[in-house]
Amino acid sequence: MHEVNEDSIKLREEVFAYARRRLEYDPAPLDGPQSPEWLQKNAGKTISESGIGGSKALEIFSEVLAPSTISTDHPNYLSFIPSAPTEASKLFDLIVSASAIYGGSWMEGAGAVFAENEVLSWLADEAGLPKGAGGVFVQGGTLGNLSALVAARHSASQKLISAGKPLPTKWKFICSAEAHSSLKSAAAVMDVEIIKAPVDETGHLRGSSVSNALQRAGEGVFAIVATAGTTNFGIVDKIDEIADVAKENQIWFHVDGAYGLAGILSPETKPIFTGIEKADSFIVDPHKWLFAPFDACALIYRSPELARAAHTQHGEYLETLTESGDWNPSDYAYNLTRRPRGLPLWFSLATHGVAAYREGVRKNIELAKQIAEIIRGKSDLELVREPELSVVVFTKKGWTLNDYDSWSAKLLARGEAFVVPSSHQGEPNARFAIVNPRTELSSLKAILESMDEES
């Protein structure tokens, strides 16, 4: 299995040929899911004592399994948060896979860790964090938020312990009522209370709401979380106001920018992120809007040593690493073994330069504005909220969830677009999440027009 021989070389060429075909699609077919029964019938039993051979396994993947997955990089994939990795980042992901690099420690992965840290420093700089800020690329925003909150609670408890004060009976953190579900999940994992502060009429969490929540919460609040780009609407909380409340009360300030913080790269939208420079930690997911492949979340701390104190794993076999004083990425999140998943972004950034990223993000925001304007001009469509970044949410008069569902299913079945319905305050709606610089206004218009077929 590990030998380089005639068979492995033949298989290598077949795999490269497949990868080349997939990379050359322009765009890749949208494709779509199949039922377990269909997959069972068409893929058959692939795991056996003797193996089916690489060529056969690749054939099943390319003809049955791959077409049963939606291409998240299709320009008309507009649901959830899509992905739009650059060609350079996808190509480099192949190299990462071929290189067997351990990204958890400096000792084993110094070169890779150095390059990942370059990217993290750049992101910290863009956000205005001081020199010395740093962190790690984790699997996704869910793990990034959890790891930041674990560091925040550890830091709060250490402060109380060193002051000889008792620990609270229940730890708590405050976030927006519209914050991402991963925060609720983090609260459950950490066994802490999540306090959801109400947003204003435009969907923003404001400092006053956080202050009220803080007063009502009593003791034990270890973190305040602002969202820089809510998932459903792309709304950026009033970061500056919230940061001030956190600072006045000496509480850790975390910013969940998993999707939206990439918007800081566009000079037009940068001002709405004011206050991010006061964050104790923040996350932004390159697999969302920084044009990198799955899966990568940049988790950055103002004072990484606080995260290190919370997260370093100790064990006899690890002492050689933990005692070294080196920068070990594993120390900054709830993880140990890790792929150097920041490298595809590093390569693409190094290749194209930051300006190309600013332009990609700016273009998406501009497109969101253009399609919002068109929606505004149609009497049967209504924007649910004004788009702030690149998410546009709207309703069609008289439509029920069934109408949205059947429209969405038809678009996917025709291979035209992937636009699943969302909802707000119990009302179904349609939602475009635009993160792909190759998404075109003409396609978005055609998708809007396809709604008329349903009526």
| Helix (DSSP H) and strand (DSSP E) numbers for the chain | 16, 11
Q: Quick check: 117 binds ligand PLP (CB under 6 A)?
A: no
Q: How far is the CB of 135 from ligand PLP (least distance, A)?
A: 15
* 3-state secondary structure at position 383: strand
Strands 391-396 and 381-383: antiparallel
> What is the nearest approach in angstroms of ligand PLP to the Cβ of residue 256?
5
Asked if 140 touches ligand PLP (CB under 6 A), the answer is yes
Q: How many residues does the chain have?
A: 455
Separation of CA 368 from chain center: 19
Q: Residue from 227, 269, 335, 390 that binds ligand PLP (CB under 6 A)? A: 227
389 belongs to the binding site for ligand PLP (CB under 6 A): no
Which of 93, 116, 178, 285 binds ligand PLP (CB under 6 A)? It is 285
**Which residues is 392 bridged to in the sheet?**
432
Does 281 engage in binding with ligand PLP (CB under 6 A)?
no
State the binding string over 153-172 for ligand PLP (x if CB under 6 A, else -): --------------------
User: Would residue 218 be called left, alpha or beta, if left means φ above 0 and alpha means ψ between -120 and 50 degrees?
Assistant: left
371 Cβ contact list (under 8 Å, min separation 6):
392, 432, 441, 444, 445, 448
| H/E element, 254 | strand 252-256
Neighbour tally for 143: CB within 10 Å: 19
Q: Which of 84, 127, 246, 297 binds ligand PLP (CB under 6 A)?
A: 297
Q: Which amino acid is at 425?
A: Q
Q: Which helix (H) or strand (E) holds 211?
A: helix 207-217
Which of 231, 348, 364, 395 forms a contact with ligand PLP (CB under 6 A)? 231
Take residue 162 and report the two structure tokens written for it.
């060193």
Shortest approach of ligand PLP to residue 431 CB, angstroms? 12
394 - beta bridge partners?
383, 430
Identity of the residue, 88 or 283, whose beta carbon is nearer to ligand PLP in the bound complex = 283
From candidates 182, 266, 269, 328, binder to ligand PLP by CB under 6 A: 182
If the CB atoms of residues 102 and 294 are measured against ligand PLP, the closer one turns out to be 294
Binding part of the chain for ligand PLP, among 63-71, 120-128, 190-198, 254-262 by CB under 6 A, reads 254-262
Which span sits near ligand PLP by CB under 6 A: 137-145, 218-226, 238-246, 437-445? 137-145
Residues 75, 103, 141, 329: which binds ligand PLP (CB under 6 A)?
141
Taking the complex as a whole, the smallest distance from the CB of residue 426 to ligand PLP amounts, in Å, to 21
Name the residue among 381, 372, 341 with its Cα closest to residue 104. 341
Q: Give the span between the Cα atoms of 249 and 264, in whole angstroms.
A: 27
- Residue numbers of the site for ligand PLP (CB under 6 A)? 81, 140-142, 145, 180, 182, 227, 231, 256, 258-259, 285, 297
